[in-house]
Structure 1
Amino acid sequence: MTDMKHYFLLFILLLVIITIEGCTEELHPETNGTNSPVLNEGELTKAVLDLSVNTFAVEAQAETRASIPSNIPENETSEEKEVHNIWVFQYDAVTKELLIKPRYYTITDQIMLQDLPVYLKAGIPSFVYVVTNTGYDNWANDDTDTSWQKFKNVEQLKKQTLPTAFPLRSIDKVSIPMVGASEEVEVTTGVTVTVPVTRMYAKLKVKVEMLKAEMKLNNVNVRQIPNICRIETFAGDGNGEPMNAVPFPDGTTFSSIAFAASDLEKSEDKEWAVFYVPENLQGEIENQGGNKSDAAPTNALVVDVTAEIGGEKYLYAAYPGGNSLNNFNIQRNQVYRMTLTITGEKGQNNPSSNCFVVKPNGFLSFEPYYRVETGGGYNFADYLSPHDENLKIASVGIIWQTKDCIGDNTNGTLVQLGENTGDIHQKIYVRTQKKGNALIGAYNSKGDVLWSWHIWVTDHEPDNLGRAVTYYTYDWDNNGIYPEKPRIQGYAVMSCNLGALAENQKGLGTGLHRYPDEMTQAFGMLYQWGRKDPFPPLRNVVSEHHDYNDEHTDLHYDNSNQIEVHKTSGTDENKLFHSVIGSTLTGAVRHAIANPTVFITGTNDVNRNESYVQQKSNYFNNGDWCPIGESDNKLWGGLEPASEGMKAYTINQTNNVHIYDNYGTEKSIFDPCPTGWRVASGELWFEFTNTGLNPGSMSGINYDDKFSDGYGMNMYMQKWKDGPTSYFPTQGTRVGDGGGFRTNSCGNYHNATTDTDNRVNILHIHKDAGLFHIFEYQFYFYYVKSVAGPIRCVRDSK
C-alpha cells in the first residue's frame, strides 16, 4: 500500500498446531451428466463417497528457527470443514488416465456428507480424486468433448489451478477449497470410497495490541495475496517446508482483504481477525540480524495495521511465515498466528489527496504540497509549490460547509495553516464538529484559490479497508464478455458513494439535513467528469429537470458558518454555486481549480424529449466542459481510448460504443477520492447484469430487493444473486446545463475511463430494465463530460 505511511514493524509471531477432527457427514448429489457416455465409460455403478477433512497443522521444520508451537488449544469452526460442492475424478490406477468424465455435485445439507452417492466405473483398479468448493459447475466439464481433456491424466489435474482463488474472512461465508484422493480401489455397487481432503488455503490469525490508551485501531489488512491456487502445492509433493522461493507463473496478480475494527465485534473471538488465503511461498532468505521487513521479497504476504493517533492515520506492517526472522512461506493447510504490538510512534509524512475522511469532533493534519500521484502525466508542483510565490499558500479557509460541519472559522482556528517549513511538509490543520461535508481552500498572497480539499465528516468509516467489498467481474476480450467463465478479481469497492453520510438508505435517522429523509443520506457528492471538487447532492425529490438551487439541496454556509452561500443553474456570480459556459473559457482546467464551486456547462439546453440527434446538436465540443482543443481523457488517470495494442470490444456498432482496457495504473492529481482510493474502472459494472451488457429484463440484473421502497439498488458484487452486496443510490444528477435531474430515480455513476468522441463510460441505473444501462448510448445528456454524477471509489491497488 504505497499510499500509506512508513512501515513501522513490531510484532510477535506465534505458530500453533490446530487439530481439526475428521468429519464424515451425508449429502445428496446432483445427477447431472450421468448419461453422457465418453471415454468408453460404459454403464456406471452407484458407489458411496465418504469425505473426511484433514487437520490444519503448523509444523516446526528443522533449521527454520520456528517458534515453539503454542500449547493453547484452538477451537475449530464448523465453517472451516464445510463442503458446498465437489468435483469427482476417477483415474485408472495403472495408466493414470481418466475413466469417467469429471462430475460436479452440489451439497445442500452438511448432515448428508457421509454417504454421497456418486457414479463411478466398476471393475477397474482406480483412484478417486475430489476437489471441493470451486463454485463453478463448468470448470472441469462444460458438456463439450474438449473441456475435460485438461484433466485427462493425474499429472494434468495436479497442475490445474482453481477457476477463482478468493481470499476469505471468518465473518463472511467461508468456503475453503480442498483436495484429496482415495487409496487404490476397485469399485463395486455400493462400495464406500473414502477420500480424505486437505485445505488448499492457509489460515492467518492476527491480534493487535496497542500500548497507548489514545490509539484507536482502524483496520487489519492482508495484502500480496496471490489470485492463484494450484491443485497440487507449488512446493511440489508438499513434504517439508521449501527453503527457496517458489515462483508464481508470469502474469499472476495479487489482491488484499481487510477487517475493519468494527468487524471484530462480529467475530467468534473478538481479539482475532481471521483470514483464509492461498499459499504464497516466498522462501527463506539470509538475514543478518535486521528487521524481517528489511529483507522481505517483493511478493511476500504482508499484514498491515492502520491505527489513528492524534487525528492522523499511520500504517504498521508485519510479515508472517515459518518464523519471525527470515521465513516468508505461507503454506496451505497451515495456521499462522501473529500478535502485532504497536507502540504508537509515528513514522514519516503522509502524502496528501483531494479528499479527507474525518470523524465528527475530529482532528486532521495533512501536507498540502506533498502529493505522489503520477496518473495522466500531471505534475502537482505546476499547481501548488512552496518554491513559487504565485503557487505558494499564504492563507487557508472554508469555501463552503454544511451547517456546523467545521464551524465558525472567522478567527482561523478551525482551518489553520501550520508553520512554514520551507519545504513540501508544511501542514494544514482542520478541526471538525458535525457530520456533513465541506470544501476548504488554499489561497496565494493575491487571494486566488490555488487548490481545494473536500472534508468528508462522518463516523461510518467509508475509507476503512475492512468495510470495502472486492468486486469480481466478467472476463472479456476483443471478441466479447464472458459471464460463463470464472470471474476476474477486481478492486475493493468503497462501501458508499463519495461524500455520503450513510452506506444505505437506512443508515441514519431524520433531521441531519434540511430535508429530514433518511433515504437520501446515502446520496454522495456530484462530480463533473475529470474534476476534483464536489457539488452538493440534490435532496428534494423531483423527477424531472429543475434548477440546481437551495430549494433542491441542503443549505450551505461560508467560513463564518453563518452566511449562506447560494446556488443556481444560471450565471449569477453573486451565488457561489453558479454556472459558466465552458465554450467561452481558455484554460478550463486551471479555471476549474481556481473556481471549485462553479459548474462549467457543456450546453445551454438539456431537453430530454428531443431526439438523439437534436439533443447532441445542443452541446458544445461533444458535451465536454472543456472547450475545443482542450479536451483531455486522462484527467482521472485513464488512458486514451483506442490506443494501439489496447484490448477493445465493440458494444454497439451503430452508436460507436466500445469498452477499452484504458484504466491507467496510477491515480491522478485530479482524482477526487481519498488517499489510497481512486475512481473506478468501467469493467466493474459488467457483473451487474447476466450478460455484461444492458439487460433484457429485471431478472437479468444482479441485485436483491432489500430496499424495494427506496432510492437505490442493492447490487451483488462477486457472484450471481449471491454473496456480498453494496448499495447504489439513484440520487439524480446535474446535467450539462447545470440543472438538476431525476432525484430518487436515476443513478448516473462516473468511472475513470472514456470512450471515443468524449463519451464517458457511465453506469446508468434505474429500477427499470429498459433504463438500466451498463453502457449508455440511448440518452446523450447522461454520458457527456459536463454531467455531474456520483462516484464510487475503489482501492488504488489490488
Structure 2
Amino acid sequence: MKRYRMNRVGKLLGFIYGMAFMLACTGETDVPSAGNYRPVELDVKMEVSGFQNPEATRSVNGPLPGDLGEEENAIHNIMAFQFDGTGNDTDPLVIMRYADSNLKDLKLGFMQPIGHEEKEQFIYFIANAGKQLQNFSGTYGQLKQQLIPVNNKGLADGIMLMSATLQTTIKAGNPISVRFIRKLAKINVSCTVEEGFSFTPVRLQLRNVPKSTSLVNTSETTPVKEGTDLQNYWSVTENIIKGYTWYMPENLRAAGSASSEKDKTAAANTEGAYCTYVEISGLYQNGGTSKLVSYKVYLGANNTTDYSVEANRIYNVSFSIKGINSGDKRVLAEDFPTVRGAANCYMVTPDETVLIDLLTSPGTDVSAGGITGYNGRVGTVGNNQIKSIGIVWQTAETLDGLIQDLSYFEEKGQAMFKAASGDVAGNLLLAAYSGSGQTGEILWSWHIWVTPYQPDKCTVGNSGVGGNVYSIAGATWMDRDLGAMTATKGQSATIGYAYQWGRKDPFPLSNNISNNELRPLYDAKGAYLRLGAATEINDTGAGPNLVKKAVAHPDVFFTTTEGADDMQKGNWWKTNDSFSLWSNSAKTMYDPCPAGWRIPSLTVTKNISGVSYDQINKGSTCQGMWYQYCGYMSYLNAGIGQPGETSVYWSSNYLNAYQMGMGNNFTASVQTRHCGFGFVGRCVKVAP
C-alpha cells in the first residue's frame, strides 16, 4: 500500500491535498433504482483539520515516544458513502466507493439524480478504516450505528481514523472539497520525579479505553455501554520518565461531583467504572521502608468535574511526583509484599501482588554429571547474571494479561508483579534473560499459576480456600493437577499441564476431556502465539548439554526417535545417563511444584489405592480426590494420546510413573516409562 503524506499548512491546521482514480473496490445498492441516476466522475480535494485547541490538564514539552508525527495527517485509504438526502437517518445509500491508491489525483465516481440535477446529496467519508465497511448497505442512520474497532494503540487498521461529511450537488466538472476530522483523541503523558524523593516508576498505562470508535455520536455518552467495551492499553515499562503518547476513541461521560483535583476519582462519578484515566505506578523507598505507589489522573476538560474525552482534541497530562499525599484520593500506597519462598511454580490469587527472589535456588542443587547448578546459571546478588525478565507465553488473550506491573529489581535480583483482578485464572511462563529487553539466553523460568486455590490454607477433611487437600498413601495431596483451574469432575478446566521427567516447565495438554483439542497460547501482549507446545527433535546435543538447552528453551518439548520400540526406557536428554533431576529424598532445583510442595516420591505413589472409575465424567476418584483423564504427550512427536481414557502421573523416581485407567484399573508406579513422555504433575506437601 502506498503512503501519501500531506504538508502541514497554517499554525493550527494540518492540510492534506490529494486526488486519485477510484480503483480498488466499489459497491452500490439498488435502492433507489440505478436507472434514476447517471454516473459522474468528480475531482476530490482533501485536507485534514488540525486538532482542536489543546485541553491542557498539565504541560507537556515536545513529541513523546508513541507520537505518530506526520502520520496524524496521512490518508492511506478512503471510503465514500453517497446517500440520497440531506443527512437524515432515513436517507438511503446510493453508492459506496473505496480507494487505497493514486490518492494524489483522486477522482471518484458518484451518482447524479436524473431530472433532479440540483438535488443535493449527502456524502459521508471515512479515512484509514481499510475495507471494514465495504459490505455496508443501508440508511445513514444505520451507518451511524457502526463501530470501528481500534488496536491497543488506538489506531484503526494501524493508522489514524478520520471522517468527513459533505452536502453537495453532483455535477460534472465541479470538484468537491473534503475536510477530514480525526476520530481519535491524542493523550500526551510526561513524568518527573522531584529530586530527593525516591520513586522508581515501573509502569505507565492508559486504562478504561473504548475498544471501538463510533462514526457519529448518537447519545451524550458513547460508545461504552458496559465494561466489556473497554480495554487497557499496553503498559509502558521502559524509559517511563520520557513519557508517552497514545491515541484513543472518544469516550463521552457524565459530569462528576469532585470539588478539587485531589477528589477526581471513579468514586466521584456515577459512570466512574467507564471513565478513562492514566496511571503510573512504581516503587517508593525511604530508608528501610518500601511501598508500592500508584498515581491516577482521570482525563477531561478540567481537573474536577469533566470526565469526557473528545475526538480530535489533545489532552496533556504531566505527573510531577513529589511525595505520598495521604489526602489525595488519586494516590494509593501499599506495603511492599514479603518475598515468597523460592520455587519453580508460584500460585497467585487474583489481585495479589507477589515478590519473588530470582537468585535463590528453588530446591537442592543438581550439579553432578556436568550439569550447572542454579546459581551457576543465574548468578548471585554480587554477580547477578539476570538483566531482564519477560513473559514467554500465557493463556490469556488480553492486553491486561494474567499479571500486571511486572518489575525487575536487578540490584536485589527480585521480581514483582500483580495478578489481574476480577474473575481471572490461567497460567503463564515467566523467564529471566541474560540481556536487557528480553534478549540473550533464557537463564531460568518460572510457572505462574493464577488461581483462587490456596492449598496452604486447606486442611484435610475440611473445605479450604478455593479447594481441598487429601491424605492418601501417607502424603497430603493437592486436589488438582498442576496448572488446573478447578477440581470439578468432567470439566476441561480440570486438566492440568504435562511435564517431561525431570523438567520444571509445563506443557499444555488437551483443551477437551475426550478429544485432542490443543490449547491456544498467547504472547505477553495477548497476541496469538500457537496451539500447544513447541517441539524439537533432540538431535542437537546430548546429556548435560541438552539439559542446559532445555533450561534455555523452557517452551520446547524435546522429542526423540531413539527408543521408539520400547516406551519403558529412554531419556529426552538422549544419553543413557540417569541424571537425578528429580529425587525421592529431596525437592530439587528442577521440581515443578510450588514452595512447600513437591512431585511425590516412589514411596508414596506405590501405595496409592482405592481408585473408582467414572465413565460419564471420564476420570477416577481416589479416596475422594478426583483425577480427570487427560491423556499424555508422546515422546515421539508430542502428540496427545488417549484423552478421556487415561491419565499418567510422574513420581520423582527416575523412569517411574503411576497410571489411572478405565474400568477401575490402576497401574502401580512400579512400571517404568520413557522420560520423554509428557505426563501430568500433581503435588504433595513436603514432609516436615
Q: TM-score, normalised by structure 1?
A: 0.47
Q: Report the equivalent of 1:392.
A: none
Does the alignment pair 1:107 with 2:107?
Answer: no
Query: What does the per-residue CA deviation read over 1:407-461, in whole Å, with 9 as the maximum and x for residues that have no partner?
Result: 67xxxxxxxxxxxxxxxxxxxxxx68534xxxxxxxxxxxxxxxxxxxxx55155
Does the alignment pair 1:187 with 2:170?
Answer: yes
C-alpha separation in 2, matches of 1:202 and 1:740: 53
Paired residue type of 1:459: S
Query: What does the per-residue CA deviation read over 1:173-216, in whole Å, with 9 as the maximum and x for residues that have no partner?
Result: 8512222111x322123432222221111110000111256543
C-alpha separation in 2, matches of 1:286 and 1:786: 58
Q: Report the equivalent of 1:334.
A: 313
C-alpha separation in 2, matches of 1:118 and 1:230: 26
Of the three residues 282, 307, 331, the one matched with 1:307 is 282
C-alpha separation in 2, matches of 1:177 and 1:106: 15
Paired residue type of 1:22: F
Of the three residues 15, 19, 42, the one matched with 1:26 is 19
Relative to structure 1, the CA distance from residue 133 to residue 255 in structure 2 (aligned partners, 3 Å threshold; closer, same or farther) is same
Counterpart contact for 2:44–2:175, Cα < 8 Å: yes
Of the three residues 189, 193, 211, the one matched with 1:210 is 193
Relative to structure 1, the CA distance from residue 632 to residue 40 in structure 2 (aligned partners, 3 Å threshold; closer, same or farther) is farther
Relative to structure 1, the CA distance from residue 46 to residue 235 in structure 2 (aligned partners, 3 Å threshold; closer, same or farther) is same
C-alpha separation in 1, matches of 2:383 and 2:616: 43
C-alpha separation in 2, matches of 1:91 and 1:631: 63
Does the alignment pair 1:280 with 2:248?
Answer: no
Q: Report the equivalent of 1:161.
A: 146
Q: Report the equivalent of 1:630.
A: 625
Q: Report the equivalent of 1:459.
A: 388
Secondary structure at the aligned position of 1:303 is classed as strand
Number of residues of Structure 1 aligned to a counterpart in Structure 2: 472
Q: Report the equivalent of 2:350.
A: 373
Paired residue type of 1:88: A
Does the alignment pair 1:343 with 2:327?
Answer: no
Relative to structure 1, the CA distance from residue 463 to residue 163 in structure 2 (aligned partners, 3 Å threshold; closer, same or farther) is same
Paired residue type of 2:206: V
Query: What does the per-residue CA deviation read over 1:363-391, in whole Å, with 9 as the maximum and x for residues that have no partner?
Result: xxxxx99x75399xxxx9xxxxxxxxxxx
Relative to structure 1, the CA distance from residue 49 to residue 247 in structure 2 (aligned partners, 3 Å threshold; closer, same or farther) is closer
C-alpha separation in 2, matches of 1:632 and 1:282: 50
Of the three residues 88, 93, 107, the one matched with 2:85 is 93
Paired residue type of 1:399: G
1:80 Cα shift? 0.8
1:70 Cα shift? 8.7
C-alpha separation in 2, matches of 1:469 and 1:433: 36
Relative to structure 1, the CA distance from residue 568 to residue 76 in structure 2 (aligned partners, 3 Å threshold; closer, same or farther) is closer
Q: Report the equivalent of 1:219.
A: 203
Flag the structure with larger Rg.
Answer: 2
C-alpha separation in 2, matches of 1:568 and 1:73: 56
Counterpart contact for 1:167–1:225, Cα < 8 Å: no
C-alpha separation in 2, matches of 1:127 and 1:355: 67
1:130 Cα shift? 0.6
Counterpart contact for 1:161–1:228, Cα < 8 Å: no
Paired residue type of 1:161: Q
Q: Report the equivalent of 1:778.
A: none
Q: Which runs of 5+ in 1 are unaligned?
A: 1-16, 61-65, 237-244, 265-269, 359-367, 381-395, 409-430, 436-456, 473-490, 514-520, 558-565, 581-588, 605-618, 634-656, 658-734, 749-754, 760-780, 790-798
1:121 Cα shift? 3.4
Q: Which runs of 5+ in 2 are unaligned?
A: 1-9, 325-331, 354-359, 365-372, 402-421, 450-481, 485-495, 507-532, 552-576, 607-613, 648-673, 683-688
1:632 Cα shift? 7.5
Secondary structure at the aligned position of 1:80 is classed as helix
Q: Which moved more, 1:294-303 or 1:327-336?
A: 294-303
Relative to structure 1, the CA distance from residue 288 to residue 104 in structure 2 (aligned partners, 3 Å threshold; closer, same or farther) is same
Does the alignment pair 1:573 with 2:566?
Answer: no
- The within-5 A match list for 1:463-612 is 470=399, 498-501=429-432, 508-509=439-440, 528-530=482-484, 535-536=503-504, 543=537, 552-554=546-548, 573-574=584-585, 576=587, 594-596=596-598
Query: What does the per-residue CA deviation read over 1:478-517, in whole Å, with 9 as the maximum and x for residues that have no partner?
Result: xxxxxxxxxxxxx9x9xx972334599996456x76xxxx
Relative to structure 1, the CA distance from residue 536 to residue 572 in structure 2 (aligned partners, 3 Å threshold; closer, same or farther) is closer
Higher relative contact order (Cα pairs below 8 Å, separated by 6+ residues): 1
C-alpha separation in 2, matches of 1:786 and 1:599: 15
Paired residue type of 2:177: T
C-alpha separation in 2, matches of 1:471 and 1:41: 49
What is the alpha-carbon root mean square deviation over aligned residues? Answer: 6.0
Task: Give the fraction of aligned pairs with identical amino acids, expressed as a percent.
Answer: 14
Q: Report the equivalent of 1:295.
A: 268
C-alpha separation in 2, matches of 1:574 and 1:68: 62
Q: Could you say which structure has the higher strand fraction?
A: 2
Paired residue type of 2:137: W
Counterpart contact for 1:20–1:76, Cα < 8 Å: no
Does the alignment pair 1:323 with 2:325?
Answer: no
Q: Report the equivalent of 2:161.
A: 177
Q: Report the equivalent of 2:363.
A: 399
Secondary structure at the aligned position of 1:33 is classed as strand
Q: Report the equivalent of 2:73.
A: 81
Q: TM-score, normalised by structure 2?
A: 0.53
Relative to structure 1, the CA distance from residue 173 to residue 354 in structure 2 (aligned partners, 3 Å threshold; closer, same or farther) is farther
C-alpha separation in 2, matches of 1:546 and 1:630: 41
Q: Report the equivalent of 1:148.
A: 137
Q: Report the equivalent of 1:652.
A: none
Paired residue type of 1:631: W
Secondary structure at the aligned position of 1:315 is classed as strand
Q: Report the equivalent of 2:126.
A: 131
Paired residue type of 1:81: N
C-alpha separation in 2, matches of 1:341 and 1:277: 23
Of the three residues 86, 100, 112, the one matched with 1:121 is 112
